[in-house]
């Protein structure tokens, strides 16, 4: 099922096309609206589907509003929930994703974690060890399955860039792009970094309208439209440095061994810091510039690949689900 929370062609359709995903059985097109309205719309549609299909188990993934909405409906209908990518905590409840993660986890009976911190967090929160399954990360499955195809496209050539000689930027979190003083600070930092390293900045639709409000001139960077999964993956793999506020990109750069600067004061993915690929820069100009220069000045990362991150998470998840269904 496709809730339609993400509906733009470059943020939705391209993933179905490039990853060979089957067409969804349902599409609700909830679109862009407030968190409350978006969650409510999904809940209404999903409850109808549950009444029609009477599922034995609901599998939800990640930490978006769709995740929370479906978990809430399932729990109220007494349908077991399995949460993929569970247990992550930034300990910052100003982040909508953190609220979604916490509530979904505590409504779920099967919890699939991606890194050891998730298991630790659950035990501290009183979750039974029998519910917790450390399975790895499904995003790594996708990355490893598609990396060769992505690299074969050589998208850096379209932007007149050379491998290992450019930085890649993403920004999308409301705390960064909706707060103009913060976005201005980040923009000034990126301008400074771009003097040392060319920056390619695929702009998220919700970010584009805010850029010129924060700073009149972004010409020191290559500002481009959102990219498809394969193009972005290849550009990330060949980047000298990635600057981002995305959680998933922190993980992908870790498995690729690419230095990452996270433009946030915290991360729910501490394994990326421990592995040596990721740096928390905060959101000040000085912090971002310092972290970026430190990262791209290193000749070697000495990174340690996280345990189990070998691209087999999906198979482990299926094994657990089948075992749980047989036992129920």
What would the pLDDT profile of 67-102 be if each residue is shown by its tens digit? 999 999 999 999 999 999 999 999 999 999 999 999
Asked whether the whole model's pTM tops 0.85, one would answer: yes
User: Do 39 and 166 lie in a common domain?
Assistant: no
pLDDT attached to residue 301: 60
pLDDT attached to residue 97: 95
Q: Bin 87: left if φ > 0, else alpha if -120 < ψ < 50, else beta.
A: left
User: Do 129 and 163 lie in a common domain?
Assistant: no
Q: Which of 106, 160, 172, 204 is catalytic?
A: 172
The predicted model gives 100-118 an average pLDDT of: 97
Number of structural domains found in the chain: 2
User: Do 85 and 146 lie in a common domain?
Assistant: no
Q: Which CATH number does the domain housing residue 150 bear? A: 3.40.50.2000
* 303 falls within a domain: no
Does the active-site annotation cover 106?
Answer: no
User: Do 160 and 189 lie in a common domain?
Assistant: yes
pLDDT attached to residue 16: 82
* 3 falls within a domain: no
User: Do 132 and 173 lie in a common domain?
Assistant: no
Tokens describing residue 174: 């409301």
Closest to 177 in 3D by CA, of 213, 202, 201:
213
Per residue in 77-112, is it b (16+ CB within 10 Å) or e — as a string?
eebbbbbbbbbbbbeeeebbbbebbbbbbebbbbbb
User: Do 121 and 170 lie in a common domain?
Assistant: no
User: Do 154 and 126 lie in a common domain?
Assistant: no
pLDDT attached to residue 5: 67
* 5 falls within a domain: no
275 lies in which domain range?
A: 141-297
User: Do 211 and 285 lie in a common domain?
Assistant: yes
């Amino acid at each position: 099922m496709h809730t339609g929370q993400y509906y733009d062609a470059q943020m939705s359709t391209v993933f179905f096309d490039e990853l060979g995903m089957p067409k969804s059985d349902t599409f609700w097109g909830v679109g862009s609206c407030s968190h409350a309205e978006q969650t409510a719309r999904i809940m209404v549609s999903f409850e109808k589907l549950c009444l029609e299909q009477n599922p034995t188990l609901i599998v939800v993934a990640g930490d978006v509003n769709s995740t929370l909405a479906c978990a809430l409906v399932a729990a109220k209908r007494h349908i077991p929930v399995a949460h993929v990518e569970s247990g992550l905590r930034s300990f910052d409840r100003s982040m909508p994703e953190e609220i979604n993660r916490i509530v979904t986890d505590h409504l779920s009976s099967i919890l699939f974690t991606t890194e050891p911190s998730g298991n630790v967090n659950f035990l501290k929160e009183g979750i039974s060890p029998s519910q917790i399954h450390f399975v790895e990360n499904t995003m790594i499955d996708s990355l490893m399955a598609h990396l060769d195809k992505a690299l074969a496209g050589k998208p850096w050539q379209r932007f007149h860039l050379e491998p290992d000689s450019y930085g890649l930027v993403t920004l999308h979190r409301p705390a960064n792009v909706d707060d103009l003083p913060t976005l201005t600070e980040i923009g000034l930092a990126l301008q400074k970094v771009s003097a040392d390293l060319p920056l390619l900045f695929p702009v998220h639709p919700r970010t584009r309208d805010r850029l010129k409000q924060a700073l009149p001139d972004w010409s020191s960077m290559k500002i481009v439209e959102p990219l498809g999964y394969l193009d972005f993956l290849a550009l990330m793999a060949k980047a000298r440095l990635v600057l981002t506020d995305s959680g998933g990109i922190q993980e992908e750069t870790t498995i690729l061994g690419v230095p990452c600067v996270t433009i946030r004061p915290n991360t729910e993915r501490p394994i990326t810091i421990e592995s040596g690929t990721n740096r928390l820069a905060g959101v000040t100009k000085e912090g971002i510039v310092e972290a970026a220069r430190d990262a791209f000045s290193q000749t070697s990362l000495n990174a340690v690949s996280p345990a189990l991150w070998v691209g087999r998470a999906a198979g482990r998840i299926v094994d657990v689900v089948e075992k749980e269904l047989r036992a129920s």
